[in-house]
Amino acid sequence: MTAAPDEQDPWTALADRVAEARAGTPLTRITIVVPTPASGLDVVRRLARAAAEKGGHGVANVRAVTVEELATEVFLADDVARGRKPLTPAVRQAAAAGLLAADPGRFDYCADRPVTAQALARCSATLDGIDLDPTGAPPVVHEVHRAHRAVTERLTGGFWSRHEALTTAARRIAAGEVRNLGTVLAFALPTAPDPGTEAVLAALGIEDGDILRAARPQLDNARWTSASDPEDESRAAVRAVASWLAEETPGHRIGIFWSSEEIYRPLVSRRLQDAGIEFNGPAPVQLVDTPMARTVLRLLDHLPAPGQLLPVRPLLDAIAEGLVRHRELPLPSSAACERLWVKPVTDDDAEPAETPGEQDTSGETGPAEPGTAQDTEEARSAERKRRRREDQRAFDAFHQALSAQLHGIAEARTWAGVSAGLLGLVDDFLAATGPEEPTRAAARSMLREALTDLADLDGCGATPTPATVAHTVGEVVTAHRSRTGRIGTGVTTGSLGDALGRDLDHAVFVGLADGLVPVHAQEDALLPESVRQQTEGLPELDERVRRQRELFEAALAVAPEPLLFQPRGSLRENRSYLPSRWLPALLGRPEPETAIPSSVAGIERSAGWATAAEPRPVTAQELRQQWLTVRGHRADGLGDEHLDRVLQLRADRRRGRFTRFTGHAGPSALPEDFLDRPVSPTALEEWVNNPFGYFVTKVLGAELFADRELAQQIDPLLKGTILHEALESHANRAIEDGALPPVEHLLEEAERIMERERNEFWIEDLWQHHRAEMLEQLEATHGHLAAQCQDGWGIDAPEVVFGTDAELTLDLSDGTVLRFRGTVDRVDRHADGTVRVVDYKSGRRDRFAHLTREDPTAGGTKFQLPVYGLYARSLGGAGVRSEYWFLSAPGEPVGYELTDDVVDALRTGAHGIVTALRAGVFPHVPESERYTNVTTVCGHRDVTALWEKLRDDPGLEPHLSLLIQEDAK
């Protein structure tokens, strides 16, 4: 790099040049061309300090400006700029899309893909000011050259590009049309500028040797440290900044610079915010990161076709962001909308609820008596169904209105129409219900500004389509950049290029890993190396790498003792990093002299390893963590109840102790009246299957969300529902006709129900397999049912609800009166007066084969048959029998007669579960991975590992016999 004269410090050389230019005339105009606006502020401040120290005359009439700022100012003062707008990447891409639609040339096979227009727009920007001769070049280069000329022609007259501003400014400066520049100096500019910038510098009379730059950086005192990952780098960088601030270094003389904005901007910004350190630089949250922008982009990715509605899944995702609301149309809660998606309102919900208690064994019905349990349950059921109907109507109305708005955007044929439709979407469907918090209000303002700019795309030759709308809005939103803080106030953050020309006492560089510095450069497929070698102004691969290195070295020279961080890996991306290939040569040592082995080590040592200051945590959280890490955890360590709980939770799970953090919720876990409510035998079995799942669903009332769009095949629960409903309809028909209908009726009912429940996202081959399997099972079940009818059995009632019209109770040995409720799939009566209750099972028979009259509850884990038998006994009859009918093997039922011994076994088993419920015993016993459940949501592997340790805890011993009978589950 070109150094200041005689290896002089460039700041001293700059001050001397300014003093020389102003000798005898203190108010002489001085224009200093700098690389960034921030460096311009530093230049003026440094000159002011130098003038004050030497008794000079200050910096009046001294101006520091970037080449682009100067060129834009000169260009806008020219007549050629009137009525024209700046050319943005989105506008250039729209022009490329218009060209591809009208004349795709060799790109006809991919002209309709937005990425094609994006690539051509990028190449067109690269070719601005480049005299490309495609003679002898590959055909694709001819197409790129043609596209560049056509795009430029389309934009001429309406927009001005950066290159046009630079070349126009260069022409006017060279012609002497620009006055009041005075003496022009250049400071810290990068080498090898683009053709436009080079033209401006030439017009100003600045050659490369005239630019004041630092010599090769002296990095003898640089500190090179490795960290485990970018997050640890960011923590360590902020700790170092805090230590320098504590040493009274002004914040504006400290900088943190990164190699990758995508990785480090949010990390560094968040750490500085947590530490309460003021900073300026790229905003921590850009427009594209905000929930409001994400919501709009998500909806645009699913613009509905004419006559169709917006898919429900992206609508639910948008609702979950918490921003979707209409000025006038009501919308149920996010949870209510998800429940409606999983289980929409059916015909049964749409009509007034039929009272379950009105149905008796004789088939006669009667009204429920006011004030009875039946009446109360009816009222609750009717109210639930009424609310579901209201929610469904509100959701459907909102869904249709939003779909209509999106359809209008998709049908717009001008970008002004798209802009208006999107602004209406934001105003109507992302409406603010009152004063908004500042961050959300700022996001709304920025989003409206970005969407308003879409109207500028008209006249570029591109007609909007649903695909280009979604892509273009994404590009516009992503390109909208914002800053936080004010330049010159607080710590500076930014990329390596932002470090050029800065006057800093301390600088931290993060992300100095190979692949980030230098970025792995690849050959451009549209402008290959063979063409670049023959075209002046198009840098080749080696040249691009060389420029990266010059920029890197210039950035490191910004501070006398830079602190350099290199990540060894990334825990989020599960990858490893090597140090930047340039660091060993620059620093004269093969590897970092210090390393932060982990985040814990960084907390222990804090900033002491990086600076001369004492270790100093920069946040309250780090203070607590350091206290615990260095001195060990004590119950009264910092008096932080929440932290004590977290540490106790981790210890209990790691060591397998049965405490409140691993499922021992205690006697107060249940509501006072919980065991006074009617309970279904299935719920008791759910506790045995997974006590924690029982607690989540039955005690807390949480529901698992089943995403229909992610389902590949029908799940076992829905399969059972279809089979049950078909058999219920068939049984009702049998009661009406007084005889069993033919098998065709059963199969037709099944086909009707399957068509209603069919999910369009299922894999067709799998669905046809399951469909055929269900029809085969129903046909076999009908044959067995017909044989039973010939043997004297008759269907008395299907789907009988019990426990609402009359209580079904069981006295336990501890005085508890357990109230049962439930639904029996079918009640049969034999000619000899025997009553039989039948429960259909669509699963495997071998899971129930061990149920006998001698062990009717399978060791206290199965309760349906004895409870159903208790209900059947209340119906009267010569005897009572309970059976499971397995639809895969209907001729092989499992069951037994209800005797006093069976009831005693039921009493004993139910008492064991009630005892566990009263004690608050809810460990997480792993469930099957074959279907979605609480275990699969929490992570089957981790749950299994914890249970293997937990099952040996003495506190679980009284209940372990119920929880480890794997064969019974």
Residue 133: its H or E element: none
Least confident of 47-56, 59-68, 421-430, 869-878: 47-56
552 has a pLDDT exceeding 90: yes
| Digit-coded pLDDT (tens) for 694-723 | 999 999 988 887 777 778 888 888 899 999
pLDDT at 949: 92
* Separation of alpha carbons 378 and 357, rounded Å: 8
Q: What is the pLDDT of residue 639?
A: 63
5-81+165-210 against 223-284+488-627: fold identical: yes
What does the pLDDT read at residue 359? 34
Question: How far apart (Å, rounded) are the C-alpha atoms in residues 604 and 623?
Answer: 10
Strands (E), 156-200: 159-160, 183-186
Please, is 801 exposed, middle or buried when counting C-beta atoms within 10 Å of its C-beta (0-12, 13-18, 19+)? middle
- What is the percentage of the chain residues whose pLDDT exceeds 70? 92
What residue spans of 283-433 are helical by DSSP H? 291-300, 312-320, 334-342, 347-350, 373-411, 415-429
Contacts of 515 (CB under 8 A, 6+ apart): 577, 578
**And the tokens for 908?**
């004993």
CATH class of 5-81+165-210: alpha beta
pLDDT in tens, 449-473: 999 999 989 888 778 888 889 999 9
Question: Reduced to 3 states, what is the DSSP secondary structure of residue 828?
Answer: strand
pLDDT in tens, 738-783: 899 999 999 999 999 999 888 888 899 999 999 999 999 999 999 9
- Among 854, 851, 873, 867, CA closest to 818: 867
Q: How many CB atoms lie under 10 A from the CB of residue 240?
A: 26
Find the mean pLDDT for residues 524-540: 91
Span 906-935, mean pLDDT?
91
Question: At residue 427, does pLDDT exceed 50?
Answer: yes
Identity of the amino acid at 321: E
Q: Which residues contact 453 (CB under 8 A, 6 or more apart)?
A: 88, 90, 419, 476
CA angle 773, 777, 779 (to 5 degrees): 115
pTM: 0.77
Q: Quick check: 144 and 532 in contact, CB under 8 A? A: no
From the list 257, 142, 241, 187, the residue with the least C-alpha distance to 46 is: 187
Output the CA torsion sign for 739, 743, 744, 748: positive
Q: Domain locations in the chain?
A: 5-81+165-210, 85-156, 223-284+488-627, 288-359+396-480, 633-662, 663-705+793-969, 713-791
Alpha-carbon distance 317 to 691, whole Å?
31
Q: Compute and round to an integer the Cα radius of gyration of the chain.
A: 38
pLDDT digit string, tens, across residues 216-269: 778 888 999 999 999 999 999 999 999 999 889 999 999 999 999 999 999 999
CATH top class, domain 223-284+488-627: alpha beta
pLDDT for 371:
52
Indicate the DSSP class of residue 513. B
Q: Which pLDDT tens digit goes with each residue over 842-866? A: 888 888 888 888 899 988 889 999 9
Q: How far apart are the first and last CA of the chain?
A: 75
∠ CA(491), CA(497), CA(498), 5° rounding?
25
Cis peptide before 562 (omega within 30 of 0): no
